[in-house]
Structure 1
């Protein structure tokens, strides 16, 4: 049986579709509270809002900003090196990169490091995991300050966390589907919308 709390109670899409089905009627009050909490998260960063910009380093120590991809659909992935769910998605992220090669789509992975590891170990651990999975995404690293900022701006409380951003630089969906859950159709829709 699926663990009823295996999704994110901060993810309004998951709460609406999967979470409610897991509980008997006497827990409706709990379900209502969690739905209210999740919907308040959506209000913080809604569809149509401008996506918060960032300036992060890649493995070559180049500075990459979100704004440099204006005019392209961007699919953001927030992860950390010891997150099992994050690592499971990496092959699917690589498939997305291949699938949208040559199209105005960027798959961007943002690693927030390794919780509990010493500062000197953060970058080497990130690079080791990226190399192990042969990550084909635009692979970025967020230091502690950027992690705090991005967690607040994108309402990231569980990992992996995905965000789909339109070619106009606005949010299509925060708490977007994982690559393994068939986000392809949504990316294709965003491409179609961006070319109109």
Structure 2
């Protein structure tokens, strides 16, 4: 029994160290400096397209719940939180109310929430509509029915969010639910 407890304590200590060092250094966990603003890129159109910080976000075209065509490039000039989520995902459910509150309060300040639903993972097509109605969501919700955009963005865990500046450049990425405070601070750092 003592060996088990010692082993469990060591495992917890190792996981704590990994969380506090390695994951933070790799940008897998979100840490936000409140006073920092991202520098504007000098020639954003010359930056490579990719998924790393400082690269231009790949464009995509999807259809939303109302049947409208949605392109990421339509939001150029706005500060964008690009979120990948599913209705069955508990952390996604936790952050949706924060996203809606921020959207309602800051949409006039060129802040946009684009929440791509991973429709290919939903049990029923109606699950998305019911979820949106239940949570009273009013921001843009494109449907990734074939899973192509989530694959293009390398989404491996839900939710995953990219914070994209007005030039379409990725400034940060968060894997897992983001608190309202973290979300707002990150969006306000964008230029």
User: Aligned-pair distance for 1:155?
Assistant: 2.4
Deviations 1:76-95 (A, max 9, x none): 11111111111111111111
Instruction: Show the counterpart of 1:24.
Output: 13
Q: Is the CA contact 2:59–2:71 (under 8 Å) kept in the aligned structure 1?
A: yes
User: Aligned-pair distance for 1:114?
Assistant: 6.3
Q: Which runs of 5 or more structure 1 residues have no equivalent in the other structure?
A: 1-21
Q: Is the CA contact 1:154–1:174 (under 8 Å) kept in the aligned structure 2?
A: no
Instruction: Show the counterpart of 1:162.
Output: 161
CA distance in 2, matches of 1:138, 1:186: 19
- TM normalised by structure 1 equals 0.70
Give yes or no for the alignment of 1:65 onto 2:64.
Answer: no
Instruction: Show the counterpart of 1:100.
Output: 106
> Could you list the runs of 4 or more consecutive aligned residues of structure 1 that deviate by over 3 angstroms after TM superposition?
38-41
CA distance in 1, matches of 2:80, 2:151: 19
Instruction: Show the counterpart of 1:172.
Output: 171
User: Aligned-pair distance for 1:45?
Assistant: 2.2
Q: Is the CA contact 2:87–2:122 (under 8 Å) kept in the aligned structure 1?
A: no
User: Aligned-pair distance for 1:70?
Assistant: 0.7
CA distance in 2, matches of 1:72, 1:161: 19
Deviations 1:125-163 (A, max 9, x none): 21111111111211211112xx2x333332211111111
Q: Is the CA contact 1:114–1:125 (under 8 Å) kept in the aligned structure 2?
A: no
Instruction: Show the counterpart of 1:10.
Output: none
Larger Rg: 2
Q: Which runs of 5 or more structure 2 residues have no equivalent in the other structure?
A: 1-10, 29-49
Q: Is the CA contact 1:165–1:173 (under 8 Å) kept in the aligned structure 2?
A: yes
Give yes or no for the alignment of 1:89 onto 2:78.
Answer: no
Instruction: Show the counterpart of 2:141.
Output: 139
User: Aligned-pair distance for 1:55?
Assistant: 0.7
CA distance in 1, matches of 2:99, 2:91: 12
CA RMSD of aligned residues (A): 2.9
More helix by share: 1
Cα separation, partners in 2 of 1:98 and 1:179, compared to 1, 3 Å: farther
User: Aligned-pair distance for 1:103?
Assistant: 1.1
- TM normalised by structure 2 equals 0.71
